[in-house]
């Protein structure tokens, strides 16, 4: 009974213990595509080159030279198609490779230009000072999470059930760019045939996406009205509204408004409220009282019955 395949740091292990950076079925598919690309390029380029060369040389010689030129171009195109899965891995890791190359080149240059003690001190200051400052440390961590999310998304799409057809041909969704946000990361993804926004919005898919990205929540939305394959993924790791916002406004407001006097144990007196209208002293309207069968007005006390108001 053959042993199952396992995954290592560098790729997949087959039953013989060999490590494959690219899946076997993907490599086989691209080898077939490379043969087709070689034959097509050789025929098209060879025919066009033979027609052009035959204008100045013998037709047979022009055909031979054209086929040789077409074979060279076809070999180049076929080789690029065959090694594209490996080139794609390098494209996925190009940011990390550039950073690692820059760090190693800078360290070697520093070691050659200064003694070891000075180089170590410069390295300690260059790494320790940004790490001690909160703003730069949080910014570096935010961009580091962007790099992590890009690889985690590729891992999610590689095992996505809706991408089975795309996985067979090696055409997984293309992760374009990622940038940090106050809540986490925002990633732009270009979907290949076999996936759509509705597949990601299906029950449980976004929750699985959040688990894969080591986040608390994930949301998907269309990033373009013209291209349905361009999506925007928002990965949420924290709630920015739960933090304490320090405002200088309470410091600017005095404890006692100017022009008021206070007494211990009493509320402020002498308040001036010009915007509040004063209530006018209006006389009370006469009331009606029922006496017997008829209603008669009761004359208020402030009305002088001896004065003729007419």
Domains and CATH numbers, the chain: 12-88 (no CATH), 93-132 (no CATH), 133-240 (3.30.980)
Query: Range with the lowest mean pLDDT among 133-142, 216-225, 245-254?
Result: 245-254
pTM above 0.95, yes or no: no
**What angle, rounded to 10 degrees, do the helices at 94-113 and 84-92 form?**
60
Q: pLDDT at position 1, please?
A: 41
Query: Range with the lowest mean pLDDT among 177-181, 224-228, 243-247, 253-257?
Result: 253-257
DSSP SS3 for 26: helix
The residue ranges of DSSP E strands in 12-171, in sequence order, are 12-13, 19-20
User: What's the half-sphere exposure (Cβ side, CA atoms, 13 Å) at 77?
Assistant: 19
DSSP SS3 for 185: strand
Distances (CA, A) of 150 to 218, 236, 303: 14, 14, 90
Distances (CA, A) of 151 to 65, 68, 209: 47, 42, 12
Say which residues have a Cβ less than 8 Å from residue 178's Cβ, sequence separation at least 6: 146, 147, 149, 150, 185, 186, 187, 188
- How much is the average pLDDT of 113-124? 87
Q: Is 146 exposed, middle or buried (0-12, 13-18, 19+ CB in 10 A)?
A: buried
133 within 8 A of 140, measured Cβ to Cβ: no
DSSP SS3 for 140: helix
Query: Range with the lowest mean pLDDT among 2-11, 135-144, 238-247, 273-282?
Result: 2-11
Q: Which two tokens stand for residue 158?
A: 């590689």
CA angle, 210 then 212 then 215, to 5°: 40
Q: pLDDT at position 277, please?
A: 66
Placement of tokens 């304490």 in the chain: 244
* CA distance from start to end of the chain: 123
Q: Which two tokens stand for residue 28?
A: 């086989």
Q: Is it the case that residue 297 has pLDDT exceeding 60? A: no
């Amino acid at each position: 009974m053959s042993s199952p395949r396992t995954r290592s740091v560098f790729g997949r292990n087959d039953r013989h213990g060999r490590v494959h950076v690219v899946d076997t079925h993907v490599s086989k598919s691209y080898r077939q595509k490379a043969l087709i690309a070689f034959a097509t390029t050789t025929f098209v380029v060879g025919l066009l080159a033979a027609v052009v060369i035959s204008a100045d040389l013998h037709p047979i010689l022009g055909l031979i030279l054209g086929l040789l030129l077409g074979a060279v171009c076809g070999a180049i195109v076929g080789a690029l198609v065959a090694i594209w899965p490996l080139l794609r891995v390098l494209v996925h890791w190009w940011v990390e490779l550039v950073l690692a190359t820059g760090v190693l080149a800078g360290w070697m240059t520093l070691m050659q230009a200064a003694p070891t003690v000075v180089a170590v001190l410069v390295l300690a200051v260059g790494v320790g000072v940004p790490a001690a400052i909160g703003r730069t440390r949080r910014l570096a961590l935010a961009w580091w999470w962007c790099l992590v999310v890009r690889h985690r998304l590729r891992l999610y799409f590689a095992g996505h059930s809706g991408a089975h057809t795309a996985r067979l041909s090696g055409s997984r969704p293309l992760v374009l760019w990622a940038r940090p946000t106050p809540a986490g990361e925002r990633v732009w993804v270009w979907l290949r045939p076999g996936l759509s926004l509705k597949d990601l919005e299906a029950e449980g898919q976004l929750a699985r996406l959040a688990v894969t990205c080591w986040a608390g929540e994930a949301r998907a939305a269309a990033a373009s009205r013209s291209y349905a394959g361009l999506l925007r993924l928002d990965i949420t790791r924290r709630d920015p509204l739960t933090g304490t916002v320090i405002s200088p406004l309470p410091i600017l407001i005095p404890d006692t408004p100017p022009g008021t006097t206070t007494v211990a144990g009493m509320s402020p007196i002498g308040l001036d409220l010009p915007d509040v209208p004063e209530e006018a002293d209006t006389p009370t309207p006469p009331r009606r009282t029922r006496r017997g069968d008829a209603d008669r007005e009761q004359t208020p006390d402030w009305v002088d019955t001896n004065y003729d108001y007419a």
